[in-house]
Chain A
Amino acid sequence: MSRSPGAIARFVASRLASVLLTLFGATVLLFLMVRLVPGDFASVMLGPRATPALRAQIVHEMGLDRNVVEQLWLFVSRAVTGNFGQDVISHRPILDIVLEVIPNTLALAFSALALALVAGIPLGVVAALRPGSWIDTILALLSISFITTPTLVVSIILFLIFAIGLHWLPVAGAGDAGSPLDQLRHLILPSIAMALGWVGYISRLVRASLLDTLTELHVRTLRAYGVSELRIVGIFALKLALVPVVSILGIGLGDLIGSSVVVEIIFARPGIGSLIFNSIAQRNYPVVQAAVIFIVAFYIIANLVVDLINAMLDPRIGKSLTARDG
């Protein structure tokens, strides 16, 4: 990467500004959307015990009796200081409720992504090195199967084989807080279930990208200079072929965090997906808003990081980005 530190700083600053703008837009949109959903928290939580007086009391405690603009201002002004208010039922800070589940979801998403990369890249390389061969065909079938099999189905199958049938791995929960080994054991099945679709996706992407790269002029030049095929693929071509993979990592992380709800529910793992799902069902708007903002922020930041990594991997991208931004 041959840009000046000033250009990079300007690029990062301009991206951060757009991050804040996007975050604000997402906050407002989310805020308005959750209020369009019919139903109220008191009725869901208390059922027939929700008398009009109790309902009014809870509506007041949640601040839902104020006008929408006032509610939005209060929410945004508090959120920027990290104050999302107190949960109406447990009286615990909402920030605490969100923060205590985020590590579980991040661990799940990152381990799934790591698995997807570790398995997907070699499969893609193998397929690209033998295009049209029987290995390529088998890997294509396998990849498409991985992509098209829903996470729900994979979860249940893994569950039945490894937890119920073989008793090798635990079924539910995130493991004992004090035991990393136990936590690792609880992470294996859910992360495989989440990773499988991305294994197929990444392997297809690497295959296509590598095949393109291998036909480029600089590769022909390297071959003409007698550089070994292993060095060409492993050092020069793969680096460029990985640019589109890195580009989708940000989206992949966002997707994995967003889709973690299915896996978290099946494996009874505490996490942000199941927190949002349950909070929506309960119409616990303050918790939904806080949790979604964390996901949005993470998603945007992950994409920013991906842009920076891409700029480092491919000088052409870096040059165009800094030229555009500064």
Chain B
Amino acid sequence: MTLNLDRRTFLLGSSALSMLPFARFAFAADARENPIVAVDTDIGNLDPGNRVGTTEANILLCCCQTLVRFKPGVLDWENDAAKSIKQISDTEFEFELNPGQMFTGGYGEMTAEDVKFSFDRFINGDRDGKKLTYADDMEALKEVQVTGKYTGKLILKHPSAALWLIAMADGSGAILSKKAVEELGDKIATTLIGSGPLMLKEWRPKEQFVLAVNPDYKGPYKAHFQEIVAKIIPEHKTSFLSYQAKELDFTAFDFDQIETAKGLPDTKIIDIPGIDYTWIGINVEKGDLADIKVRQAIRWAVDVDAIIQGAYSGAVSRAKTLLAPGLLGNWADAPLYARDVEKAQALLAESGKTGLAFSFTCLNDAQSLAVAQIVQANLAEVGITININALDSGAYWALGADDASKDLELSLIPYTSKFDPSFQTQWFLSSQIGLWNWQRWSSPEFDKLHQEGLETLDKKKREEIYIKMQELLDESASCIWITHGRNLFVNASWLKPTLLPNGKDWQFEYFAKA
């Protein structure tokens, strides 16, 4: 075959070549066998005790085994690495591992020594003795005893209902290979040796990671896809557009896009009410805010419904207490403070304070600023001047250090939750004043109840404890609850993603074809 490269052929060829990049990109999506999903943060550190966010936790939970594993989409768990777990007393558990659970990378079989090593790191720190970031998840754990190759005991300092929910079944409970950690040293931050259904096949920082089936996995939770590709796309708006361009099969999206999402073909929407909490904290130690009547007046004057409409496009529901519906201890009968300007003015008159002016500290994103402006307008109507102090995330979160919160007055605070109520109530303790208790409200009774809640195993009793704690918070008038948020996702109709009820924990091992 000869090729005559004349002018006409050259022009034709080069034109065709220049159009090649424009070849319809969507074709790739139609032929996909394995899903491509978007995650909003890159891998930071894959050490279970030093992980940074949910991306790492989700990878850990599908690539490692835990003693117990959450069932698909629910907070009940069943044995995973453990063949059996037997409760001897409120503070003692015996476990036996399944034999033949192999770590990837040729690091051998999982034994009780690996369990002890993995959990001891939370108690004693890493190899240099440095405390792990997530050490507090296992605060209740006193020690792990090895009684045989596959058997051991968990000894607790005190009874703990939270230990299994927020530690053992979560990322902190991931069982590592002792040999691998000792060999890899600092590299365990980016090298994951697990024994779970999937394995981290590839990671291109800032671009994507690939989870692939672990061929050595012998347990019951076999992955449904050979591979799952996760693209790192920090902005939900970009990932949502990528989804529309059929580059992705699953992504979170912002609630102002819900109407667009509803109109997308071959798409399912997952809508999970949030369990996080955003509130306006009032510093009870600061100047005129020390007067409870002023705080109550502010609570009556702020129009939370208008905030929901104005700053959240009406897409989230209003919170009326700390613990979200669905969580243990949710106070369903908590009072709802519908805006009442007259009541607010009457309380201010009773306090005898006039010409009040306060700062309102918030993050500098559009939503927080919208909340601030609505609060500013609301309080202006009752004669309170608000000066908005919007900070970038670096300066804002630094307020949790060095007693910086003592200068705060009103602040808009967004916190994330875990499934156990004790995780949420801990930030309101007296011991957190100067750190993360920006209200600086102190109640010995609240502190005592928190400890009781940690050590009580009876569900009904725990519920009563946490409701009582929220009643105390309500009486303090130090918090104006805004919302628990909402988690929205779109997925291609051929894909069935599985998420826990907080919308943050994705169970990649259960992702399947619809």
Contacts and interface: CB of A to CB of B under 8 A. Distances in A.
Nearest to A282: B394
Interface in B363-411: 392-401
Nearest to A97: B205
Given A268-B233, A268-B234, A167 B241 contact: no
Given A53-B131, A54-B131, A270-B205, A38 B395 contact: yes
A251 interface: no
B189 A91 contact: yes
B415 interface: yes
A123 interface: no
B246 interface: yes
A37 B398 CA distance: 11
B241 A171 contact: yes
B436 interface: yes
B103 to A, nearest CB: 21
A6 to B, nearest CB: 45
A92 B394 contact: no
Contact of B436 (A48, A53, A275): A48
Contacts of B52: 45-46, 89
A268 B232 contact: yes
A49 interface: yes
Interface string A260-291: 00000111101000110010111100000000
A62 B399 CA distance: 20
A163 interface: yes
Contacts of A47: 397, 400, 415-416
Given A173-B207, A266-B238, 20 more contacts: A42-B401, A43-B400, A44-B398, A45-B44, A47-B415, A48-B400, A48-B415, A54-B131, A91-B45, A91-B186, A97-B205, A101-B206, A164-B244, A170-B245, A181-B20, A185-B25, A268-B239, A274-B206, A278-B234, A282-B394
Nearest to B50: A89
- Size class of B's contact patch? 35 or more
Contact of A100 (B134, B205, B232, B392): B205
A55 B400 CA distance: 10
A52 B395 CA distance: 16
Contact of A40 (B21, B50, B401): B401
Contacts of B231: 172-173, 268
Given A89-B44, A90-B44, A167-B246, A265 B235 contact: yes
A164 B397 CA distance: 37
A38 B134 contact: no
A40 B133 CA distance: 16
Contacts of B396: 39
Contacts of B238: 171-172, 265-268
A167 B22 CA distance: 9
Contact of A163 (B207, B245, B397, B399): B245
Interface string B303-326: 000000000000000000000000
Contacts of B245: 163-164, 167, 170-171
A38 B208 CA distance: 32
A188 interface: yes
A169 B25 contact: yes
A290 B331 CA distance: 50
A184 B394 contact: no
Contacts of A55: 401
B190 interface: yes
B24 interface: yes
A240 interface: no
Interface of B: 20-22, 24-26, 38, 43-45, 50, 52, 130-131, 133-134, 136, 186-187, 189-190, 204-208, 231-235, 238-239, 241-242, 244-247, 392-401, 415-416, 427, 435-436
A312 interface: no
A245 to B, nearest CB: 25
A177 interface: yes
Q: What 5 pairs across the A-B complex have the smallest Cβ distances?
A: A39-B394, A270-B206, A91-B186, A43-B397, A39-B398
Contacts of A51: 136, 435
A201 interface: no
Contacts of A89: 44-45, 50, 52, 189
A320 interface: no
Interface residues of A, number: 56
A68 to B, nearest CB: 18
Interface in A157-177: 159-160, 163-164, 167-174, 177
Given A49-B134, A173-B207, A185-B25, A163 B394 contact: no
B170 to A, nearest CB: 14
B395 to A, nearest CB: 4
19 contacts: A40-B398, A43-B394, A43-B398, A44-B394, A45-B44, A46-B133, A47-B415, A48-B427, A48-B435, A90-B190, A91-B45, A100-B206, A159-B241, A171-B241, A172-B233, A174-B207, A265-B238, A266-B238, A270-B232
A184 B397 CA distance: 40
A57 interface: yes
B267 to A, nearest CB: 14
A139 interface: no
A172 B237 CA distance: 11
A49 B398 CA distance: 12
A143 to B, nearest CB: 24
Interface string A14-56: 0000000000000000000000011110111111111111110
Nearest to B208: A173
B235 A38 contact: no
A52 B435 contact: yes
B227 to A, nearest CB: 14
B187 A91 contact: yes
Contacts of B186: 86, 91
Given A50-B401, A167-B26, A171-B247, A57 B241 contact: no
Q: Which of B25, B187, B204, B239 has the most A CB atoms < 10 Å from its CB?
A: B25
Contacts of B394: 37-40, 43-44, 280-283
Contact of A90 (B45, B134, B204): B45
Contacts of A268: 231-235, 238-239, 242
A39 B397 contact: yes
Contacts of A164: 241, 244-245
Nearest to A267: B238
A297 to B, nearest CB: 21
Contacts of A49: 133-134, 136
A167 B134 CA distance: 44
A268 B233 CA distance: 6
Contacts of B205: 97, 100-101, 270
Given A54-B133, A268-B233, A172 B397 contact: no
Contacts of B130: 57
B21 A39 contact: no
Which of A38, A50, A51, A268 lies at the interface centre, i.e. has the most chain B CB atoms within 10 A of its CB? A268
Contacts of A91: 45, 186-187, 189-190
A43 B393 CA distance: 9
Contacts of A174: 207
Contacts of B234: 265, 268, 278
B401 A43 contact: yes
Contacts of A171: 238, 241-242, 245, 247
B363 to A, nearest CB: 11
Contacts of A172: 38, 231, 233, 238-239, 241-242, 247
Interface in A96-147: 97, 100-101
B21 A169 contact: yes
Given A49-B133, A268-B234, A168 B247 contact: no
